[in-house]
Each structure stands twice: as structure tokens, then as C-alpha cells.
Chains A and B, each alone.
Chain A
Amino acid sequence: MALSRRLLVQSGLGAATVALTGTVARADEPIRIGFLTVKTGPLAAGGIQMEQGMNLFLKLRGNKLAGRDVQLIVADTAGSPATTRTKAQELVERDKVHVLIGPLAAFEALAIADYVNTQKMPTLGVAAADDTTQRSASPWYARATASAGQCAHAIAHYAATELKYKRMTIIGDDFAYGHEQNAAFLRVFEDNGGKVVQKLWPPLNAPDYGTYVSQIKNNVDAVFMSFAGSNGFRFTKAFFEYGLGGKIPLIGGMTAMDEAILQQTGEDAVGIVSANWYSAAYDNPANKEFVAGMQRDYKIDPGYYAAGPAVAGAVLEAGMKALGGRFDDREALMKAMRTAVITDSVRGPVKFDDRGNAIGNIYIRKVEKKGGKNVNTVIKTYPDVSQFWTYAEAEFLAKPVYSRDYPPAKNLEN
């Protein structure tokens, strides 16, 4: 009697443990993807395209990854860190998702970083904050897109060595994403013989860029801009309004000439060179199919936001394939995803470094008018670019994270 009771208690405990960790999957169970994006508020422009990109990716796969059905559970974080945390918790604990994709913004990603770690939740991020895959990298987090500095390194090299710019002004949104891009640009540009002679930081919600445009030195070779959301479009407009367009070349960071704002920027955009890990004009079969699908289903060209989840989806698929379609062992799934080598995603080949950040092509794109609309034509490809550029990883990580004042600009002129 006593023995059987103990047995009962033990088996009960065992069942409870299984229920808590939720790792026992039935053979026919679909993989549940928790998708964190922003569907309301000012960040919703990118967030909605993220969801469209994810939906299309799954549609193109017949809603199956590695032979397993997929259930996508979308949560709206509203662009708020606190809500992101709540939604992540709901997805993990109530909906029992097997993997998280998202969220959109860096401050949202930071809000769930600890939670993801303690829950041991495989997470495929798209937010750009450098340190999430550098000094505070997590074994449960991987980013198949790029760190903020990653594309800025490449275009800085291109500006110094191919465009042969010597003196430049850099301008960017006054928050971490702008700081990290501009700092990365400054470092590589100056290491290749250029000089940053002016830095300008408009507030993220600057009502008007006129006051900043009219401060730009008229004797610089070019201006580098790192803006998010609609700010690149608004800055470019002001740049032309004040008669600088056509006089001083304008080049941009990862999202400054995103497909999301490319058509609205109109004639002013033509000729602007920017760097990204993606271009809707990138030519491979996966991307052709993806772009055609976005145009058919949503009437837009995909950009940074729509393509991010499609790359994350490809990583998840590769991880599941490596495990023969299994996904119940989180540790094995995360390891399989981080060691996957993908050759045919919409951004081309991609793999991960040991801190979970993508190593992949960075495209230098130039806006051209083709068939009555603006496209980001790829004019140069930097292959297999790591977040550390050509610097040694240990040396790179020993320095402070990129910021407003680091690395210091030594050549500013007043």
C-alpha cells in the first residue's frame, strides 16, 4: 500500500514535470511558432510587413517545415517592452510554443532577453542591437539578419575605397540603432583613410529636419545617414528641399533606403547608395519567388522587415531538417539552427558565428528607376561578412560597444 502510494506520487510528479516543461511532443503535433511583432502604434509599419513576410514564407512552404505542420501564433507587442514581455510569457507558457521569432525593436528584444534565457526558449531575433549577439550573447538567441553595425562597416569600406570619399558628415537617429550604425561607419571609414568631419544627431521624433540639413558643411564629399522607419524618407526630402540633393552625394545605412519608403521618396531617391543584407532586387530563385509573392499578396516590394522573418523561417526549417523533422528537444533544435548552413534563403547564403549572429552577404545597393519604379539594384556584394567585419573577435569585444561617442571622432571640424 505504502509502496503503491509512493509510486503514485512519483509518477504524478513525473507527469507534472513533463507538463511544466512541455517538451513531450506527439508525433503528429504541429510546430508552434510564437511570432512577436508590432501591429499597432508608430512602429506598426515595419511590424505589419514582418507578419506579411512570415505568412508568405509559410504559404510558399505549404505551411509545412521539414514535413511537419506549422501553427503560427502572432502576438502584437504594440512596440512596448512591458507588453512584449507579457506576450512572450503568454506564448511560451499558455500557447506552449516551440520557438519564438521576433520581436521587432531592440528595446523589445532586451525586455525578453532574461526570460528567454531562464525559459531556455529558442529565439530567432530580427532586432539589430549589437550587443545581443556580442557582449551579452545568449545561447538561446540567434539573429539571421544583421547587427546594426554590420552593414555600416561594409558601406564605410565602400565609401572610402570605391567611392573615394575623404571627408564626410554622418547623421543618424539619436538612439542606439543610429549610434551603432554611425559608430561602425566612422570606425571603418577612418581605418580606410577617410575622415568624419561632422556628426549630427536629430532626435528620433524630430518634427523637421530643416535645421539639421542646413547645418551640413557644404565642403564635405558626401553624407552618410542612418535612419529608421520613415525618418530616412523625411530626411531625404528635406535634403533636396534645401537644394543639397545633386550637389552632395547621400549614402545610407541598413534601413535608410528600405523598400518600405523607396517609392514614396520618388525621384529624390534615385542614385542613393545604401548597404543591407537584403535587396528586393537580389537575384536568386528563393528571393524571386518571395518578391513575386509579396507583390501578389500585399502589393509591396519586401524590404528589411518582411525579409527578416523569411530568413528566420529558413533557419528554423534547416534546423528541423537536420533533426529529421523533430523539434521537441529545445537544446538540440537551438544547436541545429545555430550550426545550420543555409545556401538558398531570400538573402542568399547565411550561417551563424559562435555568438549567434549571421555571417552572410552584405549588398551595396544603388537606387535606380526601372519600369517606372525605384529599385535597390545590387552593385557590389561583400561575401560572408561577420558582425566583427575584418577585426579579430576578441579584440573587437574587448572594446566598448558602439555608441554616440565611441569610437571617438578625432577629425571633427567646427
Chain B
Amino acid sequence: MQFWIVQSLNSLAMGGLLFLLSAGFSLIFGLLRIPNLAHGALFMLGAYFGATLLASHMNFWLAALVSGLGVGLIGVVLEAVLLRRLAGNEQGQVLVTLGVAFIIADLCLLTWGGDPMPLGAPRALRPPVFIGGFAFPGYRLVVLGFALVCALLLWLLLERTRLGAMIRAGVDDREMARSVGIPVSRLFSAVFFLGAFLAGVGGVVGGPILSAYPGLDADMLPLALVVVILGGVGSLPGALVGSFIVGGIYNFGSALFPDFAYVVLFLPMVVVLVIKPTGLFGRVLR
């Protein structure tokens, strides 16, 4: 019984973390039609920014905000300086994001060295909580709650604001959106900022669980891809549901079928792609 409860909590907490990672990835993927392969690197950059700010005794949540803004800014520059020049050349854009991922990773190595850097959770949230006699790390529940709040705010942004309506229009049909006068290229900048901002915040909030270390980018990017392909490109509910599914599969899969820890993550993705190629919540993109 304890096994099921603890692994369920693990799954939910990891799902929350994955949502912070993949929500921005999904938005960018949906609007720009390209997987931003630098997303893992942006997430890692957020973690490193956070580690640096926390080392100088900044408040944890403020550090998350500042890191998010910093990474968001880098995202905007990346979009405006590199990707916009390659408009229409989607293969070129994907390759550029991959190149940027390598550059960011090696710059991080140069700046922060190769040794892992810890990010301490706020002290009050550190002690394990006891649920029916067993310990569960309290901070992981906070991450889950934080992710749900973010999901709600993003949903309000997308469903209840003018910007959100424009983004949704752009995701559904880019040409139509352009022809009704939506400034699609400014929208690209806004979405790239938002996506990178979420990655940066996610890097800090996930930091106490993951830490900042070289290779964090490469560890996280495939998870973001799996979540988004499973949930459907450009869909917020898809990213949320996909995150929890992947969190559950990862935790229960590696606990119940330890010899298949690698396969278990990708198998469901393949199954979904065969049955519903657009993902669980995805629509056909034009």
C-alpha cells in the first residue's frame, strides 16, 4: 500500500516538474511549428542562474522570477536574431536551435565549471512531511502545487485574454491569423519569451530536485519531447495531462519493470502516435 501511495505522489510531483518544463516547449512548438531543441539548455540556464542567485542569498521565489526573466530575454533575442532570419526554413530553424543548445551548454560549462551546483529549497519547505507514518519530501508537493497554479494562470492567459486568443489563432491556423491582421511575428517574440521564461522558472523551481549540472539539458529535452508529442503539440491541457502521464509512467515503470526503464518512457509515445498521430489533445495544424 505504501508503495502505491509513495509512487503515486512521486508521479504527481514529477508530473508537476515536467509541466513546468514542457508548457513553454509546447507553446513554441505549436506556434512556430518547430521543436525548440534549445529548450533543455534554457531550462539548464535557468537552474544555473538560480543557483548563482541563491548563492548570494536571494529569496528563492524572487530568484526564480529573475532567472525566468533573464532566460526569457535570451529567448527573445534568440528568436529575433536567429530564427526570424530563417523564417519559412523550418529545417534550418530546428538545426539552429540545436546549435544554440550546444553553445549554451558549453558556455554554462565555461562559466560555472563542470561540478554540479546545488539549489536549496526554501528552508521552511525542506523537511519531509509524514503521511500515514512514512516520509515524503515536502518540497515536491510544493512543486506540484506551483505547477498547478502555473497551469491555471496560463489557461487564463490563453483563454481569457486578447493575447491568448491571438496565440490560439496562430497555433490553429497561422496563415488565417496573419490574414485577419494578427501581428504574427510580434506574437512569435511574445511566445518565445513566455516559453523561455517558463523554462527559466522551471529550472529554478525544479532545481532543489534536479540541481544544476552539465548534461541537465540533455536529460530534460527528451522528456519535454515525449510530453508534448504525447499530449499534442501546442495544447496546454495536452502538456498538463501529458506531464502527469509521463511522470506516472516513469515512476511506476521504473519501479515495476526496472529492466525496461529506458523503453518504458517511449513506448506509450509510440502507441499514442500510432493511434492518434496528433497526440491526445492535439489538432491538425495548418
- The chain A residue sitting closest to B138, CB to CB, is A241
Report if A406 contacts B (CB, 8 A).
no
Segment among A152-160, A229-237, A328-336, A368-376 that sits at the interface with chain B: A229-237
Report if A221 contacts B (CB, 8 A).
no
Segment among B90-98, B153-161, B185-193, B247-255 that sits at the interface with chain A: B247-255
- Say yes or no: A230 contacts B116, CB within 8 Å: yes
- Say yes or no: B251 contacts A42, CB within 8 Å: no
- The chain B residue sitting closest to A214, CB to CB, is B6
9 A-B pairs with the lowest CB-CB distances in the bound complex, closest first: A45-B114, A243-B135, A42-B215, A230-B116, A241-B137, A243-B128, A230-B213, A211-B251, A214-B6
With A202-B261, A207-B219, A243-B135 as known contacts, state yes or no: A41 contacts B214, CB within 8 Å: yes
Give which listed residue, A42, A210, A237, A243, contacts B10 with CB less than 8 A: A210
Q: Distance in Å from the Cβ of B280 to the closest Cβ of chain A?
A: 22
Q: Distance in Å from the Cβ of B100 to the closest Cβ of chain A?
A: 15
Which size bracket describes the interface of A in this complex? 35 or more
Interface centre among B13, B113, B128, B136 (most CB of A within 10 A): B113
Please report the C-alpha to C-alpha distance between residue A3 and residue B61 in the assembled complex, in whole angstroms.
Answer: 89
Which residues of chain A from 288 to 346 have any CB-CB distance to chain B below 8 Å in the complex?
Answer: none
Which residues of chain B from 138 to 152 have any CB-CB distance to chain A below 8 Å in the complex?
Answer: 139-140
Report if B218 contacts A (CB, 8 A).
yes
Which residues of chain A from 205 to 222 have any CB-CB distance to chain B below 8 Å in the complex?
Answer: 205-208, 210-212, 214-215
- Residues on the A chain within 8 Å of B139, using CB: 241
User: Would you mind naming 12 contact pairs between A and B with Cβ atoms under 8 Å apart?
Assistant: A42-B214, A45-B114, A203-B254, A205-B218, A208-B14, A214-B6, A230-B211, A230-B215, A233-B211, A237-B211, A241-B140, A264-B116
- Say yes or no: A210 contacts B14, CB within 8 Å: yes
- Say yes or no: A234 contacts B258, CB within 8 Å: no
Q: Distance in Å from the Cβ of B123 to the closest Cβ of chain A?
A: 13
- Say yes or no: A207 contacts B220, CB within 8 Å: yes
- Say yes or no: A233 contacts B7, CB within 8 Å: no
Q: Distance in Å from the Cβ of B21 to the closest Cβ of chain A?
A: 9
Which residues of chain B from 205 to 258 have any CB-CB distance to chain A below 8 Å in the complex?
Answer: 209-211, 213-215, 218-220, 223, 250-251, 254-255, 258
- Residues on the B chain within 8 Å of A348, using CB: none
Mask of B61-90 contacts with A, CB within 8 angstroms, 1/0: 000000000000000000000000000000
Which residues of chain A from 179 to 212 have any CB-CB distance to chain B below 8 Å in the complex?
Answer: 200-203, 205-208, 210-212
- Say yes or no: A214 contacts B214, CB within 8 Å: no
- Say yes or no: B254 contacts A212, CB within 8 Å: yes
Report if A44 contacts B (CB, 8 A).
yes
- The chain B residue sitting closest to A38, CB to CB, is B114
Mask of B91-112 contacts with A, CB within 8 angstroms, 1/0: 0000000000000011001000
Which size bracket describes the interface of B in this complex? 35 or more
Give which listed residue, B113, B135, B258, contacts A201 with CB less than 8 A: B258
- Say yes or no: B254 contacts A202, CB within 8 Å: yes
- Residues on the B chain within 8 Å of A234, using CB: 116, 210-211, 213
* Additional A-B contact list (12), CB under 8 Å, known A45-B115, A203-B261, A211-B255: A40-B106, A45-B114, A45-B214, A48-B114, A208-B17, A211-B10, A211-B14, A212-B254, A230-B115, A241-B139, A264-B118, A266-B118
- The chain A residue sitting closest to B120, CB to CB, is A266
- Residues on the A chain within 8 Å of B113, using CB: 45, 48
- Say yes or no: A201 contacts B261, CB within 8 Å: yes
Report if B32 contacts A (CB, 8 A).
no
With A201-B261, A208-B210 as known contacts, state yes or no: A215 contacts B135, CB within 8 Å: no
With A46-B114, A174-B261, A202-B254 as known contacts, state yes or no: A208 contacts B209, CB within 8 Å: yes
Give which listed residue, B6, B106, B116, B140, contacts A233 with CB less than 8 A: B116
- Say yes or no: A44 contacts B109, CB within 8 Å: yes
Which residues of chain A from 48 to 65 have any CB-CB distance to chain B below 8 Å in the complex?
Answer: 48-49
- Say yes or no: B10 contacts A214, CB within 8 Å: yes
Report if A109 contacts B (CB, 8 A).
no
- Residues on the B chain within 8 Å of A203, using CB: 254, 261-262
Please report the C-alpha to C-alpha distance between residue A49 and residue B118 in the assembled complex, in whole angstroms.
Answer: 19
- Residues on the A chain within 8 Å of B10, using CB: 210-211, 214
- The chain A residue sitting closest to B11, CB to CB, is A211
Q: Distance in Å from the Cβ of A296 to the closest Cβ of chain B?
A: 17
Which residues of chain A from 241 to 289 have any CB-CB distance to chain B below 8 Å in the complex?
Answer: 241-243, 260-261, 264-266
- Say yes or no: A241 contacts B128, CB within 8 Å: yes
Interface centre among B114, B218, B251, B258 (most CB of A within 10 A): B114
- Residues on the B chain within 8 Å of A46, using CB: 114
- Residues on the B chain within 8 Å of A215, using CB: 3, 255
- The chain B residue sitting closest to A211, CB to CB, is B251
Please report the C-alpha to C-alpha distance between residue A215 and residue B257 in the assembled complex, in whole angstroms.
Answer: 12
Report if B117 contacts A (CB, 8 A).
yes
Q: Distance in Å from the Cβ of B226 to the closest Cβ of chain A?
A: 11
- Residues on the A chain within 8 Å of B116, using CB: 45, 230, 233-234, 261, 264
Please report the C-alpha to C-alpha distance between residue A188 and residue B146 in the assembled complex, in whole angstroms.
Answer: 47
Q: Distance in Å from the Cβ of B104 to the closest Cβ of chain A?
A: 13
Q: Distance in Å from the Cβ of A272 to the closest Cβ of chain B?
A: 16
- The chain B residue sitting closest to A199, CB to CB, is B258
Q: Distance in Å from the Cβ of A410 to the closest Cβ of chain B?
A: 18
- Residues on the B chain within 8 Å of A206, using CB: 261
Q: Distance in Å from the Cβ of B126 to the closest Cβ of chain A?
A: 8
- Say yes or no: B258 contacts A205, CB within 8 Å: no
- Say yes or no: B261 contacts A210, CB within 8 Å: no
- Residues on the B chain within 8 Å of A242, using CB: 128, 135-137
Please report the C-alpha to C-alpha distance between residue A190 and residue B30 in the assembled complex, in whole angstroms.
Answer: 55
Please report the C-alpha to C-alpha distance between residue A208 and residue B223 in the assembled complex, in whole angstroms.
Answer: 12
With A211-B250, A233-B211 as known contacts, state yes or no: A40 contacts B255, CB within 8 Å: no
- Say yes or no: B215 contacts A205, CB within 8 Å: yes
Q: Distance in Å from the Cβ of B23 to the closest Cβ of chain A?
A: 17
